[in-house]
Amino acid sequence: MGDEDWEAEIIKPHMSSYVPVFEKDRYSSGANGDTFNRTPASSSEMDDGPSRRDHFMRSGFASGRSMGNRESNNDCEDNQTRSRGFSKRGGYQDGNDSEASGSSRRGGRSSFRGCHGGFGLGSPNSEYEQDEGTQRTGGLFGSRRPALSGTGNGDTYQSRSGSGSGRGGYKGLNEEVVTGSRKNSWKSDAEGGESGDTQGPKVTYIPPPPPEDEDSIFAHYQTGINFDKYDTILVEVSGHDAPPAILTFEEANLCQTLNNNIAKAGYTKLTPVQKYSIPIILAGRDLMACAQTGSGKTAAFLLPILAHLMRVGITASRFKELQEPECIIVAPTRELINQIYLEARKFSFGTCVRAVVIYGGTQLGHSIRQIVQGCNILCATPGRLMDIIGKEKIGLKQVKYLVLDEADRMLDMGFGPEMKKLISCPGMPSKEQRQTLMFSATFPEEIQRLAGEFLKSNYLFVAVGQVGGACRDVQQTILQVGQYSKREKLVEILQNIGDERTMVFVETKKKADFIATFLCQEKISTTSIHGDREQREREQALGDFRCGKCPVLVATSVAARGLDIENVQHVINFDLPSTIDEYVHRIGRTGRCGNTGRAISFFDPESDSHLAQPLVKVLSDAQQDVPAWLEEIAFSTYVPGFSGNARGNVFASVDTRKNYQGKSTLNTAGFSSSQAPSPVDDESWD
């Protein structure tokens, strides 16, 4: 079945748990009784705003996709798009996506596509009311479109393939940053963004507080059969005077409370990145650490930071209008930063250290309320962080630790400027005065060079095994599947998989909706996460996936990094990402912490041949079978800039100081053009 048939199918849904059912423009209860629909608010891009890349890069990129001016498209998306100030966006169109191919079909589906009501969360009344307020405000901006709801198994879904402006645009990679009205400036939300008093409906979502009981705080999953194999991984530390690695938690000489928390978390043995990073951080050194997905990088920075804070005896945090945290941790997505916060809360349990999380898509007032109650460790997405700093709720003078998780992403074109702004904020201690820590599974060389600006010159570089390479616990399969056969193949695989938890990655937000809907039509219980879904929907989707209610999660690359979800046995790349690093992160959602997992990727020679060489490299480095056809494509495809040897080291990401001659390939903004994520990524993330 051709992908161009999506639309026809989607507007004639079979019974499904997911399929949106056309509903009147009103709140309604879902099958599970806890769902309400919201008609879309109009453009509220001020809540987070679309990504910068929306503005800079959306038009006219992407292999395998057609370009064309979409201005004539007569549905919500384009209305919203205009209202977001994207009229120049210039017709990105997924080549696999027929929706723009005919206005009549579009018309038939517009009620589905553009509308995006809420996703039931069983929200408290207050929330309901707030949302209604938002919705009404939205009505002022444009047509109130009918809400859509799917009921079925209670997994209510509101599809919103549009650009999301109905409720505020971009929620993804650059989720926290500039809004449409501020396009082409690198202004933060602090300068008129998310809090956006004047720019439209406010974001009112208040995330439910995490459970407070000890069992929930320390809930964890088991390490897998390959956990002990971590010991055999080669580790290289470069830089001068590195302290020796430790072999046990005891050697770290952490305080008793911390040791208790580590034990309650089920940690008995250090992973390699922890063995090396903990003493380095305890010794006060700056660090750039590259280690495979799922190998415990979060604890590798949290534990020594907490140990130090405990050692110096910070005073208990208390209510103050201006809080001065000792540690700031930033990560690129909301779900990831929330996860890091939960880890910080777990390890600081029973101490006077207070961790707080703030991220976009939630009510700004809520973030402020969390902060003013006390804040030692601030976990934040960049836009919300800058917003809060701008509102003078956070002072930076006491910052001892600045942590960039997924550091390569945090320094690339998307977030790099925001990070630069952060380190030059008034009060932020210079790099000599603070400790800066960077972690990722991938670390392209040119991004490493950029990192120099953030790190002391004598920083240490830890490379664990095949850094930038795939985790060996993931069994990788590459199937040659053309665009038009992908869905059939997907269903076949998912039917064989049964109820095992599976993440399906696609390249665009629209496609995430389409595929999720399609799978529900096929009676496969599915939910989706992407940047056009409201935050509450994103959290609901993740929650449904985590608990197994929806064993299939269709996602864009917004979910590619960092997410640590128990029992994800399979990752399917319905679309391959544009870069090999993204591939590595995506498949790293399975095979974590010594557990095994499987990744199946659909390779379409029409659009993916540029990935053949790096894929062959990653597969062979991870000792996976390399299909002969893939090798053939790899040999016959010239990929500018790719040398088979570039990743030919045991340490796929090496410390660039070893071979860096001081030559810079940075562009005028100080960012490497060649390492800038391609616009193809962008479509996924925002």
Ligand X SMILES: Nc1ncnc2c1ncn2[C@@H]1O[C@H](COP(=O)(O)OP(=O)(O)OP(=O)(O)O)[C@@H](O)[C@H]1O
Could you say whether residue 309 binds ligand X (CB under 6 A)?
no
> Applying CB under 6 A, which of residues 62, 148, 258, 299 lies at the interface with ligand X?
299
Task: Single out the segment in contact with ligand X by CB under 6 A; choices: 101-109, 270-278, 394-402, 426-434.
Answer: 270-278
- Contact code string over 510-529 relative to ligand X, x by CB under 6 A: --------------------
- Contact code string over 569-588 relative to ligand X, x by CB under 6 A: -------------------x
Could you say whether residue 592 binds ligand X (CB under 6 A)?
yes
CA-to-CA distance for 660 and 664, rounded, in angstroms? 9
Could you say whether residue 91 binds ligand X (CB under 6 A)?
no
CA-to-CA distance for 280 and 168, rounded, in angstroms? 42
Binding positions for ligand X, 208-227, rule CB under 6 A: 220, 223
CA-to-CA distance for 413 and 673, rounded, in angstroms? 8
If binding means CB under 6 A, how many residues of this protein chain bind ligand X? 22
Could you say whether residue 281 binds ligand X (CB under 6 A)?
no
CA-to-CA distance for 31 and 58, rounded, in angstroms? 38
Task: Single out the segment in contact with ligand X by CB under 6 A; choices: 198-206, 293-301, 540-548, 601-609.
Answer: 293-301
Task: Single out the segment in contact with ligand X by CB under 6 A; choices: 97-105, 291-299, 408-416, 418-426.
Answer: 291-299
Could you say whether residue 564 binds ligand X (CB under 6 A)?
yes
**CA distances, 91 to each of 8, 58, 74, 509 (Å):** 22, 9, 13, 15
Nearer to ligand X, 297 or 434 (CB): 297
**Helix, coil or strand: residue 105:** helix
User: Min. distance of Cβ 662 from ligand X in angstroms?
Assistant: 30
Could you say whether residue 555 binds ligand X (CB under 6 A)?
no
CA-to-CA distance for 588 and 568, rounded, in angstroms? 10
Could you say whether residue 293 binds ligand X (CB under 6 A)?
yes
Short-list 265, 422, 397, CA closest to 344: 265
Binding positions for ligand X, 439-458, rule CB under 6 A: 441
Could you say whether residue 296 binds ligand X (CB under 6 A)?
yes
CA-to-CA distance for 346 and 495, rounded, in angstroms? 37
Could you say whether residue 303 binds ligand X (CB under 6 A)?
no
> Applying CB under 6 A, which of residues 46, 593, 611, 634 lies at the interface with ligand X?
593
Could you say whether residue 465 binds ligand X (CB under 6 A)?
no
Could you say whether residue 288 binds ligand X (CB under 6 A)?
no
Could you say whether residue 347 binds ligand X (CB under 6 A)?
no
Amino acid at 506: V
Nearer to ligand X, 269 or 366 (CB): 269
> Applying CB under 6 A, which of residues 149, 271, 435, 672 lies at the interface with ligand X?
271
Token digits of residue 629 = 């056809």
Could you say whether residue 562 binds ligand X (CB under 6 A)?
yes
The DSSP-derived string for 515-558 is HHHHHHHTT--EEEE-TTS-HHHHHHHHHHHHTTSS-EEEE-GG
The CB-nearest residue to ligand X is 296
Short-list 266, 221, 226, 232, CA closest to 596: 226
Handedness of CA 591, 561, 652, 626 (dihedral sign): positive
Q: Which residues pair with 555 in a beta bridge?
A: 505, 529
Q: Which residues pair with 65 in a beta bridge?
A: none
CA-to-CA distance for 401 and 120, rounded, in angstroms? 38
Task: Single out the segment in contact with ligand X by CB under 6 A; choices: 53-61, 208-216, 263-271, 549-557.
Answer: 263-271
Task: Single out the segment in contact with ligand X by CB under 6 A; choices: 106-114, 161-169, 262-270, 308-316.
Answer: 262-270
Task: Single out the segment in contact with ligand X by CB under 6 A; choices: 143-151, 184-192, 267-275, 321-329.
Answer: 267-275
Pairing of strands 21-22, 148-149: antiparallel
Short-list 240, 412, 405, 262, CA closest to 334: 405
- Interface residue list for ligand X (CB under 6 A): 220, 223, 266-267, 269-271, 274, 291, 293-299, 441, 562, 564, 588, 592-593
